[in-house]
Amino acid sequence: MVCDPDETDLDIQIPAVMLPHDAGSSLLKMLMNSSSVSVQLYSPTRPLVDIAEVFLWLMAVGTILCASYWSAWSAREAAIEQDKLMKDAVDELTDDKHVNATGVVEISTISAVLFVIIASCFLIVLYKLMSSWFIELLVVLFCIGGVEGLQTCLVALLSRWFRNFGDSYTKVPFFGAVSYLTLAVSPFCIAFAVVWAVHRNASFAWIGQDILGIALIITVLQIVRIPNLKVGTVLLSCAFLYDIFWVFISKKVFHESVMIVVARGDKSGEDGIPMLLKIPRMFDPWGGYSIIGFGDILLPGLVVAFSLRYDWLANKNLRAGYFLWAMLAYGLGLLVTYVALNLMDGHGQPALLYIVPFTLGTFLALGRRRGDLKVLWTRGEPERPCSHVRLHSSQDLD
């Protein structure tokens, strides 16, 4: 338990001892059986850094790394396809723009602001309606998203070896055309999510939650994109204020940190909400989990993935591009988050408070220094001259 310095200290002269849940259950059973019970108390010290935080850092960075390369590869394939169509006919390009956009959602400046407002409303709903049945509803929604994410990732991975099954489709009622590979993978994904949901309170359930969560994050970063750095700046700036308000300032309004209460799943009887990546603290005698919210990976991940798409379209190498530096900035920002968490004696910290200045600040400063900031801010992609259009122009002049 972590107590705030300004919390009331009541001298009630009654000794109180905090026990782990399993130790309390064993003690209660022995007392009910009238067994002889003796208790020896000790206060072990926590390690300065638990290895769980190292693994969680690697998971967060690795997730953004995989999602960025997948997103950049898809963008480059789409650009190559557009170039081919440009050489064939301008009309075909016009018709195909809608097709290429299918399945990819680009965030606008207004939707970036609305996203944070909606997220705040949803957080208040979670805080007010926090109960066991509401957590079960979140579990169902998480399973649906996790199944979709795991299925998308597995199909994309397996289609490299089973190309015939990935390119062969059949019609399924209510779903339309579905590939045979998707039909083969879907039962496994559904079974995996159901097994996790049933055993989500088991000691090993964090493994299934992390697998579903990582697959969901990678899929979202593949589908949702920011078109330019302007939208990314608005999104991360709003998320920066959102995180600070709901972790620190909400204490003044609700008398407790809304974000921390929701993340821990207080008043629900459950071990936190499922929208988290978590690893049990391995060398901490007090137990518990090291956690990171999906938003702390997703929102900065949108900007990092954008940087790699830009680098590939501009044919920039790692040192001359922006992705390497954005990736290093995110990793350093997350590292500083864990340092601050340990220095604050376990008090919850808003991760975006540290991640956003590192990631966004590095990107903006580097873009301005290299003279690319205007293109990054407005277009979001380098200019690619079309030889087909120039050819038509010269013919028109003749």
Per-residue model confidence as pLDDT tens digits over 230-284: 999 999 999 999 999 998 888 888 888 888 888 877 766 666 788 899 999 887 7
Long-range contacts, 172-181 (Cβ 8 Å, 24+): 179/155, 181/155
Residue 99 confidence (pLDDT) above 70:
no
**Would you give the DSSP letter of residue 133?**
H
Kindly list the catalytic residues.
243, 296
Cβ partners under 8 Å of residue 153, min gap 6:
215, 218, 219
What is d(CA 206, CA 269) in angstroms, rounded to the nearest whole number? 17
Instruction: Look at residue 148 in the predicted model and tell me its pLDDT.
Output: 93
The residue among 294, 321, 282, 94 whose CA lies nearest residue 213 is 294
Contact (Cβ atoms closer than 8 angstroms) between residue 197 and residue 150: no
Label the pairing between strands 176-179 and 169-172.
antiparallel
Whole-angstrom distance, CA of residue 146 vs CA of residue 212: 5
The pLDDT-based confidence of 90 (bands split at 50, 70, 90) is very low
Residue 31, exposed/middle/buried by CB under 10 A (0-12, 13-18, 19+)? exposed
Confidence tier at 98 by pLDDT (50, 70, 90): very low
pLDDT confidence bin for 394, thresholds 50/70/90: very low
Count Cβ atoms below 10 Å from residue 312 Cβ, excluding itself: 19
**Is 80 exceeded by the pLDDT of residue 384?**
no
pLDDT digits (tens, 9 = 90+) for 312-349: 888 888 888 999 999 999 999 999 998 888 887 656 78
pTM of this prediction exceeds 0.95: no
Per-residue confidence (pLDDT) for residue 345, from 0 to 100: 65
Return the pLDDT at 12: 62
